[in-house]
Each structure stands twice: as structure tokens, then as C-alpha cells.
Amino acid sequence: MRAGPLSDDRVLDRLERDFVCTWILHDDLVRLGEGSGPWAPIAKDVAEAYAYPVDSLVLSCEGEILAHVAANDDPSIEGYLRLLDAAGK
């Protein structure tokens, strides 16, 4: 994915303009979801929605999961742009 969608200027420009970006290790996400912090419920939801091995998820500004795509399912740039479109729906 680093050499695919995340190297494409259209994807990066869109992310830079419209998104707050984060990455997290799966184990850390699970730990966070099991905790009692303010973001634990969202971490738990993301961990439950996670698809092996590398998953990209679009969340609303309130933390609702709008769409996700696993790197193995659709590694294409067009597929990634469609994923980001979910934020506008």
C-alpha cells in the first residue's frame, strides 16, 4: 500500500485537504478498545471492523465508521479514492 495508493498524489492531496490521518498497530488498538478512555468505544468498533492484514478505515468526525478496505481486497488507487469518497456521503 505504501508503494500503491499512498504514493499517489491524488490520494495524498485528498488526504492532506480533507482528512485527519492516523495509523495504529492492531495490538495497540485492541488494548485501547479494552481501556476506559474517552476514545475506547471508537477503538473497540474499529478493532471489530478490522480486516487482516492492513485495513484502511474512513471515520466521520464523530468516529462513526463509514467505510473500510483491506489492502488485500482492493490495493488499487481508484479503490482507495472510492474509499475516501465515503467521507463525503
- For the bound state, the minimum distance from the C-beta of residue 28 to other proteins, rounded and expressed in Å, comes to 8
Q: Could you give the CA distance from residue 47 to residue 80 in angstroms, rounded to a whole number?
A: 20
- For the bound state, the minimum distance from the C-beta of residue 5 to other proteins, rounded and expressed in Å, comes to 9
Sequence-separated (6 or more) residues with CB below 8 Å from residue 21: 15
Nearer to other proteins, 1 or 79 (CB): 1
> Closest Cα partner for 69 from 59, 58, 56?
56
The footprint of other proteins (CB under 8 A) covers 1-3, 6-9, 12, 15-16, 18-26, 28-29, 32, 37, 39, 42-43, 46-47, 50, 53-63, 66, 84, 87
- For the bound state, the minimum distance from the C-beta of residue 55 to other proteins, rounded and expressed in Å, comes to 5
> Closest Cα partner for 84 from 26, 22, 18?
18
